Structure formats: structure tokens, C-alpha cells
Amino acid sequence: MSYPLSTMQRRTVLRQAVAIGGVLSASAALPSLALAQSNPASASRSAKNGLPRIVSVNGAITEVIYALGAQAQLVGTDTTSLYPEAALATPKVGYMRQLSAEGLLSLKPDVLLATSDAGPPAVLDQVRSAGVKVEMMESDHTWGEVQRLVTVVGNAAAQQARAKALLADLNAQWAATQKLVAAARGPKRRVLFILAHSGTPQVSGSKTGADALIRFAGGVNAIDGFAGYRPMTAEAMAVAAPDLILTTTQGITAAGGIDKFWARPELELTPAYRNRVLVHMDALELLGFGPRLPATVATLHRRLLTA
């Protein structure tokens, strides 16, 4: 069974990362933009400055707010907002798809920023009815998604000039990353992304964030027969024949370590297993599609070449 709403699947990854404990790469940062550290108490300053008070219901949106230096306006975040580390200290409004109007309105926001899979819809309607501006953003796993995110967040936060500067910087990073990937020579590696945070591991087909990341980094998705995610089976592994496995660091942790990850019998049928070729990265960094995307793609590209 496939899951046509791949965006929802991506958010599920991030929710599972929360459950696992959010193994964050605290050293990771935007290459040219130092993310300011949050002080939850500073949120009240936004009202004094006349700037909108913001609730962010998405990890990538929260990263953009910090990249804009607008974290003083942040009065609440959801549980997928795991980066930067300071975001962990912000008041939490719960998981993005299980919001409550009471919890949101208690923070007295002017704006709620979310992606289209946030909800329930009735709760968002209640928040709108209370006079809070609700901005919902679509996700399509493209660079344009990041550009739209920066622009919409900048407008909502009344930080248009900072958003313009951030976007220019990110566009330059993205161009440099594309140039780096295009300069690679040799055959492209067949990459299989496995989501293995809990229960039955799943593999990613087309129209998923993982598929987009693999292509951005110069690889080929070893799964091309379906869209969305499906359970990992021995038959699928034999047909896909990946020469590299990509997964999340949280998935490795959930499996009990790399050796136990490789112990799954389905993997024995793959060239990747025979050569023990595995790349794992933090789930939010890998699938967040926020301002770290250029750096993430560059990192993944290098690891595809050297793993």
C-alpha cells in the first residue's frame, strides 16, 4: 500500500524523530548565516516592538524564523521544531496535526505559520475566527518550496528586508551546490532510502522528500515503480538492487546500532549489503526542506561519492 500524501509521510518522520528523542546534530548550522539563540522570555518583546507574535507549526518554518533573526517574535512551536537547539526551549503547542485551539490561543499569537498538513481543520478555523492570521504553505519537494517558505515567513513576521537578504544568500548556496553536483563524473549510485524508525521499515518511491534529496545530491532512486512509501520486502530489495542504503540517524538508533540495522534479512539481497555501504543523517536535516537544504544536499553528495 502506498501513501499518496508524501508530505504527510515526511512529517511522520519528524514526529517519530521527536518520539525517539530527536538525535540532533547540534553542530550543524547554516554555512553563512549564524542562527541566533532563542530566549523564550524575549518573546514578549515582540508585542512591545509592534511586531507580530508568531506560532510556528513546522520545523522548517521555525528554522527560517531563526535564520531571519526573528526568534524574539516566536511565542510557540510544535514538536517537530527541533532545530536550532534553542527552539527546544520554546513553549510547545503539540504535534502539528493534533493542535488544540485553546493551547494555540493561550499564547496570544498574531500569526500562525504552518504547512498544509497541519490540523485538525476545525481547530485552525477556530483560530482564524479568533482573529489570528493563519498562513498555510504547500510542500512539493523543490527548491521553490524553500524560496516560498522564506518569503512567506518574512512577510508574516514583517521582516521583508531580512527575508530578501536570506533568500539571496540561500540562492547563492543552492547555485554553488548545483554546480558541485553537476561537476561529478562517473556513474550515478543507486540509492535506496529506508524509513526505519519503528515497526515495519518502509522504502521511498517517487514524489517523496527522500526521492528529491537523492536526485538533488546526484544519485538515482533505486525504487522507481511507485509513488510514496511502501513496506520493505525481500522482493522489493532484490528488484531495486541498490548499491547504497540511505537512512536516518534516528532509524539507526531505533534499530539498536548499525550492526543490528544490517541484520534485517531483506537487506542481504542487495549489493549495498554485500559491500556494507550505508549513509545515515539526522531526520530533520535530511527531510526538513528548510534553509539548511543547500548544505544538506552538498553533504549528501559528498557522502554518496565517498561511502
On the question of pLDDT at 100 being above 80, the answer is: yes
Please report the pLDDT score of residue 60 as a whole number. Answer: 95
Residue ranges and CATH numbers for the domains of the chain are: 54-179 (3.40.50.1980), 185-306 (3.40.50.1980)
Distance in angstroms between the alpha carbons of the first and the last residue of the chain: 31
Task: For 203-220, write each residue's pLDDT tens digit.
Answer: 999 999 999 999 999 999
Predicted confidence band of residue 1 (pLDDT cuts 50, 70, 90):
very low
Residue 2's φ and ψ, nearest 5 degrees, are: -100, 165
| Torsions phi, psi for 245 (to 5 deg) | -105, 130
Percent of the chain beyond pLDDT 70?
A: 84
Residue 10 confidence (pLDDT): 52
Is residue 7 over pLDDT 60?
no
pLDDT at residue 234 is higher than 80: yes
Enter the DSSP assignment of 131: T
pLDDT reported for residue 236: 84
In this prediction, residue 235 carries a pLDDT of: 85
The answer to whether the CB of 90 falls within 8 A of the CB of 74 is yes
Give the pLDDT confidence score for residue 144 in this predicted structure: 96
The pLDDT value recorded for residue 46 is 55
Contacts of 78 (CB under 8 A, 6+ apart): 56, 57, 58, 59, 92, 93, 94, 95, 96, 99, 118
What is the per-residue pLDDT across 237-259, written as a single tens digit (0 to 9) for each?
A: 888 999 999 999 999 999 999 99
Q: Which one is predicted more confidently, 31 or 262?
A: 262
Percent of the chain with pLDDT over 90: 74
**Which of helix, strand or coil describes residue 88?**
helix
- The pLDDT score that the predictor gives to residue 48 is 55
CB within 8 Å of 47: residues ≥ 6 apart: 53
pLDDT in tens, 268-300: 989 999 999 999 999 989 999 999 999 999 999
Q: Is the pLDDT of residue 37 over 80?
A: no
pLDDT of residue 23: 30
